Each structure stands twice: as C-alpha cells, then as structure tokens.
C-alpha cells in the first residue's frame, strides 16, 4: 500500500485561524436570492419571506461572513433602488446576467437575514459604473448613527441602529473585460485609492479590499496587482484573489490537484504585494481576501445558449446551477486546506456562492432544500478548524499531472486550539485508484486521543446529491483511524477528503 507521513509540530505556528476564512457569497444572480434564500410563498417561509429550511442549512454550514450583493451584478447596481418602501422600488435591468432585478430584497432585508443565520455582512460598492460619491453615500447610509440626511433616511426606512459594516470591497473584478466599467490597472488603482481615502475619512474603522485579478490566468495577472497596489497600498487592508476550478477534458488527475494552483496563486500574490511593500519602504503588510473560490463548470456555462433579447429579462432564471460530485467535494476540501495553509496572509475568504448558484445548498421552488457534496468538507472545516494553523512536514509520493507537473498525492493541514485542547487534521488523497496508509506523527503533543474521524469518498467519484436522491453522498466515520503511541494512522480511500478530530 502507498504510504505517506505528516509530522505536526505543536511549537511552530503558521497563523491564527481567522473565522472570516469560512465566508461565502450571495449575489443577485439567478436563483441565489429569489427562489433561494427568499421565497415568500414557500411552506417553510418565515414572516419576512425567508426560507427556514435554508436558514437551517446555512447555519449548519457555518458561514462567517457573506459578501454581497455581487459579483458582476454590483457593477450596474444602484444601492438606493434597494432601500425604502418595497412597492416603490424600481425594477431594473441587470446587464451582467441579462435578468430583471426587482429589488424586493435589498440591504435591510439581507442584513435581517444575516442576523437569522448569524453571519457578518461584507459589502461591495459599485466602482464599475459609479464612483466615490455613491460609495460615500452608501457608507453614510450604513454606518453613520444619526443626524445626517442618509442616516436619517435609514432610520426612516426602519433601521434606527447603523448596520456597522466593517468589510468593504472596492468594486468587483475590475480587470475583467466582461465587467461593466472595466478599467486598466492604472485607472482602477486611482479610483480605488480615491474611494478608499474618502471612505476612511468618513469611517476610519472600515476594512477595505481592493480588486486583484479575477484569476491567475488573466493576461494581466501580476502586473495588475503590482500596479493597483502601487496606487492603493497605504489605503487598503486586503487585495482580493478569485479562482474557480473545473475538470476539463476528462483530466481528473489535474483537477484533483487544483489546490496546487491555488497555493501558487496565493504565493504569487503575496510576493507581488511584498514587492510593492519593499518599493514603498512600507512596514505595513497587505492581507489576501480570497473572496471568490469554488469549483465552477464555467465552460459548460459559456457554451450554453445565453439569455438574450431586448424584451427578455427574466426574474431569477436558473443560472450556474452546477451539480457537484464527490470529486468536486474533494477538490473543495483541498482548496480549504490551501487557504488554511496560508492563514498568516489569507485572512478572509468567500466560497462562491451560497445557494443554487454554484452552491453547496440547492433549493426547489415550493420544494425541498438539500446539501450538495461540497457542503460537507466546508461545514466540517468551519466547525473543526480553530485556534492556530500548525507548521507541518508532509512526506508523500508524487504523481504527474498535465496542468501542474509533478504534485504530491496527499495534501494536509493541521490546526490546534489551546483553549479547548483539541486539534484537527485535514487530509486529501488525490489518487484515483490507490488507498494511502497515512501516519500523522504527533510527537510533542501530550496523550492524544482520537475524538472522531470522518471521510468523504465513494466508489463512484462522480456520485452526487440530487432533487430525487438528496442524500446519496455524505460523510462516513473512518473506522481505520487509530492512535498508536504518539501517532494516528488512518487509511485514506482513493479520491477522498478526511478530517481527524483529536483531543
């Protein structure tokens, strides 16, 4: 049998596990909001029209922050449309997704929903078709207590207390030619700097995210980050990363190694940010907000017939409703491992998205809500990764991939929470046919006991949960896990994700 070994050091720490790593993303796109989190006619709807079954699943998923309201949507969005009496809110064209936005759900309703699920709002301003003044107006409306036109308007609209929003995104994917108001790095860097300075003048406590590249495969990647940060370095706290992965041309081997690409992406952005830091002789360090990441079968979407026509702007059409397999879930679990391994610099992240749209949770109008395969590694990582990420040494066999060269067959990360004296070890076996006999060496920890071991795998890596069979795939206890002396041994099935919970 193939063997691998992970040595975990209790003495060396990568960085704290920031709860914001377990964020998600709700965009006004397809059926994420309407017929997703919000469906007033649904049997489980509460008095505000939100589905209780979805609230329960989002709570179980353990989502810390939620980025909102886009995405590409935000670059055409007028925030004022989404507040005030609902029957007076305008219906608008959403050019990003060729849909109609009814504005039935806006800032107040979404903030109320976030209170129900216990998550923090991360708000994006429109820097595609709007600018500094509109961003300031939104910030005044959201965060100023009282006594000004917009804070009073908020109170009049039913919310006396400020929303108190900390995290703000300065636009979305401004490097992408598809983005409304797409700009060069220089032009975006300038407007992002002006907007950031003005927002801080109004509320110095805000944490600001400037747009990095919409993928590491953009032709401007690297130069974009350097140029944007050269304008905004002193004004922002985070630069964003976005990455989506898919299995292409049946190349499962490369797909299972997607986290290798994420590791390299993160490390390149850190290097670029630190280059700007050196050039500016700055003692400030920029963090990464990985605020869009997931498996997304983008090629499928791009090859589909698009919604089109001057008189055809549907409300909440079915868009980007990917159904996820076991292999997809293993990749999602591995991408979380990559984020955690970089916990010293990646301090915020958002799984894109949350409900129906490339999402861990699916719903049917008038019908059930269910967990996709990708739900499980996210929920357990959010639940069990706590305290600090520990330094590890991994000894693993390698395999060849078409996209990323020779990569380790196994990937892993470990966390330790001294307040509860518990640890968690997250493991992935990327082999398509071989079990891996894994040893986790915990020398240095006192008297480890195994609390639990859960694995996501299936003889059929393409198995998935569907409307007709919503519980086909789930987690199973891994009965091979056992403590021996100061090690834990466990067998990792092919194409699998595992978490060991230790006390």
Could you give the residue numbers annotated as active site?
Answer: 173, 292
Q: How far is the CB of 74 from ligand AHR (least distance, A)?
A: 8
Of residues 273 and 352, the one with the C-beta less far from ligand AHR: 352
Contacts of 321 (CB under 8 A, 6+ apart): 30, 31, 356, 357, 358, 362
Helix (H, G, I), strand (E, B) or coil at 333: helix
Task: Tell me which of 18, 72, 119, 374 binds ligand AHR, using CB under 6 A.
Answer: 72
Helix (H, G, I), strand (E, B) or coil at 401: strand
Contact set for ligand AHR, span 214-233 (CB under 6 A): 214
Q: Does 172 bind ligand AHR (CB under 6 A)?
A: yes
Q: Does 65 bind ligand AHR (CB under 6 A)?
A: no
Of residues 175 and 203, the one with the C-beta less far from ligand AHR: 175
Q: How far is the CB of 214 from ligand AHR (least distance, A)?
A: 6
Q: Does 94 bind ligand AHR (CB under 6 A)?
A: no
Q: How far is the CB of 35 from ligand AHR (least distance, A)?
A: 17
Smallest CA-to-CA distance from 232 within 278, 280, 267 is with: 280
Half-sphere exposure of 179 (CA within 13 A, CB side): 24
Token pair listed for 231:
């304008």
Q: What kind and span of H or E run contains 267?
A: helix 258-279
Of residues 256 and 352, the one with the C-beta less far from ligand AHR: 352
Helix (H, G, I), strand (E, B) or coil at 64: coil
Of residues 72 and 457, the one with the C-beta less far from ligand AHR: 72
CA–CA dist 286, 270 (Å, integer): 8
Q: Does 292 bind ligand AHR (CB under 6 A)?
A: yes
Q: Does 353 bind ligand AHR (CB under 6 A)?
A: yes
Of residues 180 and 425, the one with the C-beta less far from ligand AHR: 180
Please report, to the nearest 10 degrees, the dihedral formed by the alpha carbons of residues 65, 66, 67, 68 taken in order.
Answer: -140
Residue 190 φ/ψ region, left for φ over 0, alpha for ψ in the -120 to 50 degree band, beta for the rest: alpha
Tally of CB atoms within 10 A around 129: 15
Are 469 and 414 contacting, i.e. CB atoms less than 8 angstroms apart? Answer: no
Of residues 173 and 263, the one with the C-beta less far from ligand AHR: 173
Q: Does 235 bind ligand AHR (CB under 6 A)?
A: no
Selected range binding ligand AHR among 65-73, 159-167, 180-188, 266-274, rule: CB under 6 A? 65-73
Tally of CB atoms within 10 A around 452: 15
Selected range binding ligand AHR among 10-18, 67-75, 220-228, 258-266, rule: CB under 6 A? 67-75
Q: Does 69 bind ligand AHR (CB under 6 A)?
A: no
Helix (H, G, I), strand (E, B) or coil at 355: strand
Q: Does 175 bind ligand AHR (CB under 6 A)?
A: no
Token pair listed for 433:
């046919």
Q: What kind and span of H or E run contains 187?
A: helix 185-202
Contact set for ligand AHR, span 243-282 (CB under 6 A): none
Q: How far is the CB of 483 from ligand AHR (least distance, A)?
A: 42
By CB under 6 A, the count of residues binding ligand AHR is 10
Q: What kind and span of H or E run contains 228?
A: helix 223-232
Contacts with ligand AHR, residue ranges (CB under 6 A): 27, 70-72, 172-173, 214, 292, 352-353
């Amino acid at each position: 049998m193939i063997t691998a070994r992970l040595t975990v050091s209790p003495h060396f720490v990568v960085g704290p596990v920031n709860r914001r790593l377990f964020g998600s993303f709700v965009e006004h796109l397809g059926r994420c909001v309407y017929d997703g989190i919000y469906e007033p006619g649904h049997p489980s709807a509460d008095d505000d029209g939100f589905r209780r079954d979805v609230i329960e699943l989002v709570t179980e998923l353990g989502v810390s922050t939620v980025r909102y309201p886009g995405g590409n949507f935000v670059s055409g969005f007028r925030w004022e449309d989404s507040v005030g009496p609902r029957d007076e809110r305008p219906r608008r064209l959403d050019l990003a997704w060729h849909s109609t936005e009814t504005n039935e759900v806006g800032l107040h309703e979404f903030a109320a929903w976030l209170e129900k699920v216990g998550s923090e709002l991360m708000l994006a301003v429109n820097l595609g078709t709007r600018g500094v003044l509109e961003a300031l107006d939104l910030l005044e409306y959201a965060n100023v207590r009282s006594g000004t036109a917009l804070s009073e308007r908020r109170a009049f609209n039913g919310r006396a207390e400020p929303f108190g929003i900390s995290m703000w995104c300065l636009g979305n994917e401004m490097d992408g030619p598809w983005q409304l108001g797409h700009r060069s790095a220089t032009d975006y860097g300038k407007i992002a700097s002006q907007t950031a300075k003005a927002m801080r003048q109004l509320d110095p406590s805000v944490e600001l995210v400037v747009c990095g590249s919409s993928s590491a495969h953009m032709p401007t990647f690297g130069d974009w980050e350097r140029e944007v940060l050269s304008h905004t370095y002193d004004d922002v706290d985070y630069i964003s990363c976005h990455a989506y992965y898919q299995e292409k041309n049946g190349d499962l081997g490369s797909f299972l190694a997607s986290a290798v690409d994420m590791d390299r992406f993160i490390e390149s952005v850190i290097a670029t940010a630190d280059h700007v830091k050196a050039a500016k002789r700055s003692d400030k360090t920029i963090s990464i907000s990985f605020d869009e990441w997931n498996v997304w079968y983008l090629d499928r979407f791009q090859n589909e017939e698009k919604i089109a026509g001057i008189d055809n702007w549907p409300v909440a059409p079915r868009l980007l409703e990917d159904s996820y397999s076991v292999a997809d879930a293993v990749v999602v679990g591995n991408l979380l491992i990559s984020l955690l391994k970089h916990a010293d610099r990646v301090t915020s992240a958002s799984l894109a998205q949350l409900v129906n749209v490339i999402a861990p949770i699916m719903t049917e109008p008038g019908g059930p809500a269910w967990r996709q395969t990708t739900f499980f590694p996210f929920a357990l990582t959010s639940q069990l990764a706590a305290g600090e990420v520990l330094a590890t040494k991994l000894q693993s066999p390698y395999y060849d991939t078409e996209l990323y060269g020779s990569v380790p067959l196994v990937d892993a990360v470990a966390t330790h929470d001294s307040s509860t004296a518990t640890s968690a070890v997250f493991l992935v076996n990327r082999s398509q046919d071989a079990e891996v006999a894994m040893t986790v060496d915990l020398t240095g920890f006192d008297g480890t006991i195994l609390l639990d071991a859960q694995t996501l795998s299936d003889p059929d890596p393409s198995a998935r949960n569907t409307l007709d069979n919503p519980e086909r795939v789930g987690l199973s206890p891994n009965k091979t896990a056992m403590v021996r002396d100061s090690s834990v041994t466990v067998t990792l099935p092919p194409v699998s994700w595992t978490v060991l919970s230790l006390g």
